[in-house]
């Protein structure tokens, strides 16, 4: 985890505190389940939206979810000739 990655995560958390769906959108994209849950929780109450957004940014890895949707096994090798 380099300096750039740490700065990006800090900016995402700052955005999540100011506007929770924006921080989740920067991390996971606009059409993901995490984004829409964040929008719903923010509409129901600001604090639940912030708590969920920070949780999703810190603990959920977006690359793992993308690989699972594509059904890519991380143990498979791709040979390039």
**pLDDT tens profile 8-31:** 888 888 989 999 999 999 888 888
What separation, in Å, do the N-terminal and C-terminal C-alpha atoms of the chain show? 31
Going by the DSSP 8-state scheme, the letter that residue 48 receives in this structure is H
Mean pLDDT of the chain: 82
Going by the DSSP 8-state scheme, the letter that residue 76 receives in this structure is -
């Amino acid at each position: 985890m380099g300096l750039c990655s740490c700065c990006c995560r800090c900016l995402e958390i700052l955005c999540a505190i100011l506007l929770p769906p924006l921080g989740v959108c920067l991390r996971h994209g606009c059409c993901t389940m995490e984004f829409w849950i964040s929008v719903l929780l923010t509409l129901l109450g600001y604090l639940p939206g912030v708590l969920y957004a920070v949780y999703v940014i810190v603990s959920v890895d977006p690359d793992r979810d993308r690989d699972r949707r594509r059904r890519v096994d991380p143990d498979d090798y791709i040979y390039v000739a």
